[in-house]
Amino acid sequence: ETGVTQTPRHLVMGMTNKKSLKCEQHLGHNAMYWYKQSAKKPLELMFVYNFKEQTENNSVPSRFSPECPNSSHLFLHLHTLQPEDSALYLCASSGRLASEETQYFGPGTRLLVL
């Protein structure tokens, strides 16, 4: 399935590195999301974009910086991360911004911060 793609699938980075995660959706959706999934914890919503405008920043530290150049692409820029930021980062999209809409997830980027 290639509805929502994410790259890279795995990433190891040091605390001083800068890297970017990329998400692309091929579903014609208008809303896109970044989630963080840590071990033993529920998915945490990080950012929400609707028609490429940010509508939600869920108290995420500034070392995470999202970018949405258009409705199909979403980036998460990472810099000076901490080891506790190691997690699975999932991108999702939905047709519109409403809780009853199904969200389609990408395969995620598994991030390890050393």
Partner 1 sequence: RKEVEQDPGPFNVPEGATVAFNCTYSNSASQSFFWYRQDCRKEPKLLMSVYSSGNEDGRFTAQLNRASQYISLLIRDSKLSDSATYLCVVGGSNYKLTFGKGTLLTVNP
Residue 41, token pair as written in the block: 């914890």
Q: What is the DSSP string of 61-101?
A: -TTEEEEEEETTEEEEEEES--GGG-EEEEEEEESSS-TTS
Residue 59, token pair as written in the block: 């108290």
* In the complex, least distance from residue 38 CB atom to partner 1, rounded to whole angstroms: 11
Residue from the set 13, 20, 45, 79 that interacts with partner 1 by CB under 8 A: 45
Residues in binding contact with partner 1, number by CB under 8 A: 23
**Residue 53 binds partner 1, judged by CB under 8 A:** no
Positions touching partner 1 (CB under 8 A) are: 31, 40-43, 45, 48, 50, 55-56, 90, 97-108
